[in-house]
Structure 1
Amino acid sequence: MLQEITKERILLIDGAMGTMLQAYKLEEADFRGDRFKDHPSDLKGNNDLLSLTRPDVVEAIHTAYLEVGADLIETNTFNANAISQSDYATEDLVYEINLESAKIARKAADSFTESPRFVCGALGPTNRTASLSPDVNDPGFRNVSFDELVVAYSEQARGLLDGGADILLVETVFDTLNCKAALFAVQSLLEERGEEVPIIVSGTITDASGRTLSGQTVEAFWHSIRHVDLFCVGLNCALGAEQIRPFLDALSMVANTLVSVYPNAGLPNEFGEYDESPESMSAVIGEFAQSGLVNIIGGCCGTTPEHISALAEAVKGIPPRQIPEVETVTRLSGLEPVSLRSDANFVNVGERTNVTGSARFKHLILEDNYEEALSVARHQIEGGAQLIDVNMDEGLLDSEAAMEKFLRLIASEPDISKVPIMVDSSKWTVIETGLKNMQGKGVVNSISLKEGEGPFLEQARLIRKYGAAVVVMAFDEEGQADNTERKVKICTRAYHILTEQVGFPPEDIIFDPNVFAVATGIREHNEYAVAYIEAARNLKEKLPSIHISGGVSNLSFSFRGNNAVREAMHSVFLYHAIQAGMDMGIVNAGQLAVYDDIDKTIKDAIEDVLFNRREDATDRLVELAESFKGEGKKREVDLSWRDGDVEKRLRHALVEGIMDYVV
C-alpha cells in the first residue's frame, strides 16, 4: 500500500518531537513519574523516557501532527538506544521504551481511519561516532565499535517492530559507519524474523561544506549505503530549507529510490532557537516539489504542526519526484565518491600499503610507526592511486589489530580517506575487521571457491551486507587456475553464484584471474601471461559490467632487484591486458613507465616472453636484463612549497599531514 501511495503524491512526515515537548515545560517529576522517583540519576531531558512516564503527552503530539495531514509519524525514540540511554543509567529500559513508543504511535495513527497513516520507528545516530576519535590527541581511539552499535540498534529495532512500527527510519546520520552498523543490525533482525519492512535513511549535512560530520559528501554517503534496498533516502536536520537545497539536488540526481527532506525551521538564532515561519519554510519546500526533487517532506528541529500544515498546502496537487534511471557503474566511496566504468580508464590500486609486498611498509608497521605508514598511503594517492590496498598479513603481527588501527588512523587523514579502501587479506577475520572500520564503500580482496560453495556463499553474503564490492580469485576446490579455460570456468561459476544466490550486482564483482610470474625458467610457466590476457578478454565479453583486476608485480617476480626491468614488464603487460579488458590493478602508482617510451629492444623481448613467441624468450630477456639494471622510475616529489615563508610552509604541512620538517 505504501509503495502505491508514493506513486500518486508527495507524502508528509511529521515535525519535531523535541520542540513540541519543550512547549509543555515538563519538569523532573514528569520524567520520573512514580516508577522512577528513586532513580539515582537526573532524568530531565531524557525525552524518550516520557513514553513510559507521560505517554499522554507523546500521544497528544502524534495526534497534533496527524490532524494536520502527516502521513508518517516518528516514534519518540531518537535516543532510545543503550549507548545514549547509558548517560541516564536507563539502558536496561531500551526495549521497553521502544516497544511502548511504537505502541503509542500505532494507537494514534490507527485512530485516523480516513486515509492510511504509517508509523516510522526512529533510530537516531547515538551520541558517539565509530569513524571519529573523541580525543584529538589520539586519532586512532574510538569510544564505540561497530559491534557495539549493531547490538544497540538490534535491541532498539526489535522493540520498535514488536510495538507495531511499519517503517524503520535511520535518521540524522552524521557518521556513515554508525549508519552502516544500524543497517547491518536491521537487515540481520529482519532475516531472523523472516520479515520485510521498508527502511528509510536520512543523512545530515552539518554545514555549507556539503559534508557529514565524518567528512563524506552527499554522493559518497549514498554510495556507502545503497547496497541496502532502501525505501527512501533523504536529508534532515542541521540546515534550514534554503541551505539544504544544493545537497538535496545532488542526492535527487543520483538516488535510484525515493528521496525525502525534512530540514530545520531555519538556522538557530543567537538563543539557539529556530524561528523560520511556516509560510517561509513551506514556500521553499514547495519549490523543491515543483522542481521534482522530493517524494516525502516534513520538518525537523523547530518545526510544529503549523509548519506541517503549511507544507501540506504547498505541495497539494504537485506530482512526486520520478525515480531516475541511473547508469550501471561500480560506485565506491571514501570521503568522496568514485565511479568505475568497465569501459573507462584503468584504475590504479595502490600496492605499497601491504606488508607482504612492501618491505618498508612492513618494517614501519612492525615498528609501530604508523605516522610514516600513513605517509606511504598518502604518497600512493599523490602518485595516482584511486584506491589503496591495505594488507596486514604478517606472522609477527596481530593482523586484526593492525588493520583496525591503520584504518582508524586513515579516517583522521582526509587526503587519504577521500579514496576507497581495498581490504586485502587471506584471513576472513582480518577482512571483517576492515569492513567494520570503513564508513565508505570499499572492496574486499579477496574470496574464492577454494573451500567450496558453502564458505564462499557465507562470506559473499556478509560482504554484501557490509556494503562492499568484492574481488574473486580464479581459485576453486581443485586449486588455482593457471590456464585460460580454467580461469574462465571458475570465474563464470562464481559469477552465477554471486548474482543468482547472493544478489550481488555484476558491477560490484571484480575478477582476478591470477597474475603469475613469467620468465622463471620453468616451461609450464611460459603461457601464464597470455592465459591471463585471454581470460580477461573472454570474461569481459561474456559477463557484462564486471571488472578484471590483478596483482601486477607478481608477473616480474623472477627479476626482483632489477626495478628497471620489472617496471618495463609491468607497463608492457598492462598495455596488452588493458586492451583485452583488464580495467583495474594493484600497482605501485606513480612508478609505471609509458609503453611508447620503453626501449624497443627490451620491449620486444618482454613481449616475446608475455606471448610465448620464442623458445628462447626467457633466456634472451634474462640476458638483456643485465644491461637494463637500474633503480627504475622515481616518483618526483614537489617540494616547491618549501620555498614559501614559515606560515605558508606550516599551513601546507598541516593540511597535507607532512611531519618530516616539524621539529
Structure 2
Amino acid sequence: MSAEARIRELLRERILVLDGAWGTMIQDAGLAPEDYRGERFRDHPRDVTGDPDLLNLTRPDVVLGIHRAYLEAGADVTTTNTFTATRIGQADYGLEEAVHDMNVQGARLARQAADEAGSRFVAGSLGPLNVTLSLSPKVDDPAYRAVTFDDVVEAYAEQVRGLREGGVDFLLVETIFDTLNAKAAIAAARDVAPELPLWISVTIVDLSGRTLSGQTLEAFWNSIEHACPLIVGVNCSLGAKEMRPHVEELSRLAETFTSCHPNAGLPNAFGGYDEQPPDTSSLLREFAEAGFVNVVGGCCGTTPEHTRAIAAAVEGLAPRVVPERPRRPRFSGLEPFEIGPDTGFVMIGERTNVTGSARFRRLIEANDYQGAVDVALEQVRGGANLLDVNMDADLLDGERAMTTFLNLLATEPEVARIPIVVDSSRFSVLEAGLKCVQGKGIVNSISLKEGEGSFLEQARRIRRYGAGVVVMAFDEQGQADTVERKV
C-alpha cells in the first residue's frame, strides 16, 4: 500500500497528530555559532547563527533528536526542518548553493526518525518567504514587486526536488500569508512532484479573519481548491481559542480533510508563549468533539509535552466527516463570490478594457495607472461583481500593462475584494495576468481555433493558476453556427 493510501485510510479511521514547534526546540538546545557553521561552513563569509535549516547539515544529531522526541510523544506526522530552505529564504545568509542539500538531508533525517518509530509519516515543510507577490515593499511604488511569480515557482521547485529526493510522504505548504505565493508553491509542487499529496495550511493573522494579504478564509479556499489538496488547514499566528471560528468555517467549506495546528496561545510581552499542554490539548479536544478536524498539532511555542497531551486528548475521538457541497461557480478576490440559484444578474465591469473604453485606453497609454485604478473603483462602486481587464491595443506592451495594472489593483482593497476577469486575445498576456491574481479569477477566453492540442495545453496552464475560463464556440472552421456545433 502506498504512503498516500495509508494516510487516507488512517484519516478516515481516526484523528492524526502532527508534531509541534521547531524554533522552540532549537532555541532550547543552547547552540553556539560554531554549531551552525560546522566544518563545512567554518570559513563562510557571513554570519549564519540562527539559521535553523543549516543544522540539517552541521548538527544532524540535534535535528534527529527533535524528530525522535515528537514521535515518541505520539506524533503520527513529523515535519522536515526546512521551513526557510529556499534560495530566496537563504539569500540573507549567502547559502543559496546549499539549499538542495539542506532539503535532501532534512527529509532524510525525518525519514530515518519516522521509520525508526514505525508507521509514521514525513511532511516536507515549505514555509513562507520573506517576500510577497501580492504586496509592494515600496510605499511610493505600489505596483512594484521584489520578485516575480516565476522566481517564486523556481525557488519552491528547487526545494521540492530536494524533499522528494530525501523521501518525504507529502508536501506541507504552511503558514501561508499570501495566497499568490502559495499558488506558486502549488505550481512548483505539481510541476516537480505531481505524485506527492499536498497539505496546504493558511495563517489568519488576527481576529478579522483575514490573511496578511487581505483574503478571507473562504476566498482563500476558492483560490487553492484547484490543487485538490489531501489536507487543508489553519496554523500559526493565533492560539487555539482565537482560531476556533476559522477552523469551524474551514470544516464547513473544504471537501477534503482538515487540520489545525495553533500556537501555544498568543505571545506574551517578551514574544514567548505561556499556554500549557493541558490548555492547548483541551481546546483541540473540543474541536475534535465538534467534528471540525482530521489532524491536530502544534505550532509556535509548543513542545513534545504539548504533543503528548494533544495525542491523549483526541485518542478515540471520531474524525471529521468530509462534507459534500453543491457544485457551483465559485470565484474570489479578497472576498468570495459564488453564483447560485438566488444570485440574480451577475455584472462584469467592462470599462477597464482598452478596446471598450477610450478613456481607459488614454489613461493606460499615458502611463496614468492611478487614473486607471479610479476607473476600476467606479465600476466596483457601480455594482460590478467581477472586473474585466483587457490590454489588447496596438503599440501597447500588453504583458507589462496587464502586470502593472493588476499589481496596482491588488493594493486597492475596494477593488481587490472582487474577482478579476483577465481578458486578452493573446495567451501570453492572459498568463501574465494570472501570475498577478491571488484570488480565483476567470480567463476570457480560449477556443479551439488553433486545434484541440493547443486548447488543452492552454486549459492546463489556466488550471495551474487556479482560474476559471470562458470557452468561445470557435474551432478551425470558424464560429459555431448551429446548436450541434455549439454544444
Could you tell me the TM-score, scaled by structure 1's length? 0.72
The one of 79, 82, 95 aligned to 2:100 = 95
Residue 280, structure 1, aligned to residue 279, structure 2: yes
Residue 201 of structure 2 aligns to a residue whose secondary structure is strand
CA contact 1:390–1:422 (8 Å) conserved in 2: yes
Residue 173 of structure 2 aligns to a residue whose secondary structure is strand
CA contact 1:241–1:263 (8 Å) conserved in 2: yes
Partner of 1:449: 448
Aligned-partner Cα distance in 2 for 1:474–1:273 = 60
Is the radius of gyration larger for structure 1 or structure 2? 1
Distance apart, 1:344 and its partner CA: 3.9
Task: Give the alignment of 1:218-367 within 5 angstroms.
Answer: 218-341=217-340, 344-367=343-366
Distance apart, 1:341 and its partner CA: 2.5
Partner of 2:70: 65
Residue 142 of structure 2 aligns to a residue whose secondary structure is coil
Residue 162, structure 1, aligned to residue 165, structure 2: yes
The one of 45, 53, 69 aligned to 1:48 = 53
Once the two structures are superposed, what CA deviation does each residue of 1:191-215 show, in whole Å capped at 9, x if it has no partner?
5xxxx21110000001111100000
CA contact 1:329–1:342 (8 Å) conserved in 2: no
Partner of 1:128: 131
Partner of 2:44: 39
Distance apart, 1:372 and its partner CA: 1.2
Partner of 1:439: 438
Cα gap change, 1:342 to 1:448, in 2 (>3 Å): farther
Residue 83 of structure 1 aligns to a residue whose secondary structure is coil
Aligned-partner Cα distance in 2 for 1:380–1:489 = 35
Partner of 1:576: none
Cα gap change, 1:150 to 1:342, in 2 (>3 Å): farther
CA contact 1:423–1:442 (8 Å) conserved in 2: yes
**Residue identity opposite 1:352 in structure 2:** R
Aligned-partner Cα distance in 1 for 2:342–2:418 = 20
CA contact 2:160–2:193 (8 Å) conserved in 1: no
Residue 117 of structure 2 aligns to a residue whose secondary structure is coil
The one of 4, 8, 27 aligned to 1:3 = 8
Aligned-partner Cα distance in 1 for 2:334–2:122 = 33
Residue 395, structure 1, aligned to residue 394, structure 2: yes
**Residue identity opposite 1:91 in structure 2:** E
Aligned-partner Cα distance in 2 for 1:322–1:21 = 36
Aligned-partner Cα distance in 2 for 1:65–1:27 = 23
Partner of 1:28: 33
Distance apart, 1:343 and its partner CA: 6.9
CA contact 1:356–1:394 (8 Å) conserved in 2: yes
Aligned-partner Cα distance in 2 for 1:319–1:23 = 35
Residue 178, structure 1, aligned to residue 174, structure 2: no
Residue 374, structure 1, aligned to residue 389, structure 2: no
Residue 81, structure 1, aligned to residue 82, structure 2: no
Residue 84 of structure 1 aligns to a residue whose secondary structure is coil
Residue 186 of structure 2 aligns to a residue whose secondary structure is helix
Structure 1 moving runs of 4+ over 3 Å? none
**Residue identity opposite 2:427 in structure 1:** W
Residue 226 of structure 2 aligns to a residue whose secondary structure is coil
Partner of 2:462: 463
Aligned-partner Cα distance in 2 for 1:451–1:186 = 29
Distance apart, 1:175 and its partner CA: 0.2
Distance apart, 1:296 and its partner CA: 0.3
Distance apart, 1:465 and its partner CA: 1.3
Distance apart, 1:292 and its partner CA: 0.2
Distance apart, 1:342 and its partner CA: 6.3
Aligned-partner Cα distance in 2 for 1:263–1:20 = 16
The one of 117, 120, 133 aligned to 1:117 = 120
Distance apart, 1:71 and its partner CA: 0.3
> Which segments of 5 or more consecutive residues in structure 1 lack a partner in the other structure?
493-663
> Which segments of 5 or more consecutive residues in structure 2 lack a partner in the other structure?
1-5
Task: Output the aligned Cα RMSD.
Answer: 0.9
Aligned-partner Cα distance in 2 for 1:84–1:291 = 38
Indicate the structure whose relative CO is greater, using CA pairs within 8 Å and at least 6 residues apart: 2
Partner of 1:545: none
Residue 426, structure 1, aligned to residue 425, structure 2: yes
Once the two structures are superposed, what CA deviation does each residue of 1:115-145 show, in whole Å capped at 9, x if it has no partner?
x100000000111101000111111111111
Once the two structures are superposed, what CA deviation does each residue of 1:41-88 show, in whole Å capped at 9, x if it has no partner?
000111000000000000000000000110000000000000010110
Could you tell me the TM-score, scaled by structure 2's length? 0.98
The one of 472, 478, 489 aligned to 2:485 = 489
Aligned-partner Cα distance in 2 for 1:78–1:340 = 38
Partner of 2:208: 209
Residue 347 of structure 2 aligns to a residue whose secondary structure is strand
Once the two structures are superposed, what CA deviation does each residue of 1:153-182 show, in whole Å capped at 9, x if it has no partner?
000001001000001000000000000000
Distance apart, 1:489 and its partner CA: 1.9
Once the two structures are superposed, what CA deviation does each residue of 1:273-296 show, in whole Å capped at 9, x if it has no partner?
011000111111110000000000
Residue 227 of structure 1 aligns to a residue whose secondary structure is helix
Partner of 1:563: none
Aligned-partner Cα distance in 2 for 1:320–1:291 = 10
Distance apart, 1:239 and its partner CA: 0.4
Aligned-partner Cα distance in 1 for 2:249–2:290 = 13
Aligned-partner Cα distance in 2 for 1:426–1:480 = 15
Aligned-partner Cα distance in 2 for 1:386–1:24 = 53
Aligned-partner Cα distance in 2 for 1:382–1:251 = 30
Distance apart, 1:484 and its partner CA: 3.8
Partner of 2:112: 107
Aligned-partner Cα distance in 2 for 1:50–1:344 = 54
**Residue identity opposite 1:380 in structure 2:** Q
Q: Identity percentage over the alignment?
A: 58
**Residue identity opposite 1:29 in structure 2:** E
Residue 489 of structure 1 aligns to a residue whose secondary structure is helix
**Residue identity opposite 1:11 in structure 2:** L
Aligned-partner Cα distance in 1 for 2:289–2:22 = 28
Partner of 1:532: none
CA contact 2:236–2:299 (8 Å) conserved in 1: yes
Aligned-partner Cα distance in 1 for 2:271–2:147 = 29
CA contact 2:73–2:307 (8 Å) conserved in 1: yes
Partner of 2:3: none
Distance apart, 1:480 and its partner CA: 1.8
Aligned-partner Cα distance in 1 for 2:21–2:239 = 13
Residue 88 of structure 2 aligns to a residue whose secondary structure is helix
CA contact 2:78–2:110 (8 Å) conserved in 1: yes
**Residue identity opposite 2:171 in structure 1:** L
Task: Give the alignment of 1:563-582 within 5 angstroms.
Answer: none
Residue 137, structure 1, aligned to residue 140, structure 2: yes
